[in-house]
Structure 1
Amino acid sequence: MSEQELSAYASMWTTERDQWELHRIGDTYLPIMNGDPPMAGMICDDDLADQVIAKMLAAGVAVVALPD
């Protein structure tokens, strides 16, 4: 994974961070864009997804805990 790939998602934890939340199910996080309807932010590369989620958590993106 390159910095360029990660930077493509930067708005999720910077300029658009108030439009996103992380849904936590067990020990898994799923980025969700708020809206009607809400939309999941799918990232097909697991390493990249982990980095994006870590950046979102560090930036204080809201976390919604869902039942297991």
Structure 2
Amino acid sequence: MNDQALIEFEPMWTTERDRWELWPTGKGYLPILKGDPPMAEVICDDDLADRVIARMLAAGVTVVGQT
């Protein structure tokens, strides 16, 4: 996995951060694009998904179910 793949997801924790939230799963979190209906962003590369979610958490993206 290269950094270019990570850069493609960067708006999720920067410019579009308020449009996203993280939903807890049994193994971690699933990025969800808010809306009606909400839409999951499935990232098939586990390493890339972990890196994206870590950046979203560090940026303060809302985690559903946490206060």
User: When the two structures are superposed, what TM-score results if normalisation uses the length of structure 2?
Assistant: 0.92
Point out 4+ residue stretches in structure 1 off by more than 4 angstroms.
Answer: none
1:16 matched to 2:16? The reply is yes
Report the residue type matching 1:50 in the other structure.
Answer: D
Distance 1:27 1:48 in 2: 15
**Deviation for aligned residue 1:27:** 4.3
The corresponding residue for 1:51 is 51
- Give 5+ residue unaligned stretches, structure 2: none
Q: Which has the higher strand share?
A: 1
- Give 5+ residue unaligned stretches, structure 1: none
The corresponding residue for 1:35 is 35
May I ask how many residue pairs the two structures share in their alignment?
Answer: 66
Distance 1:19 1:42 in 2: 16
Instruction: State whether residues 25 and 65 of structure 1, in contact with CA within 8 Å, keep that contact through their aligned partners in structure 2.
Output: no
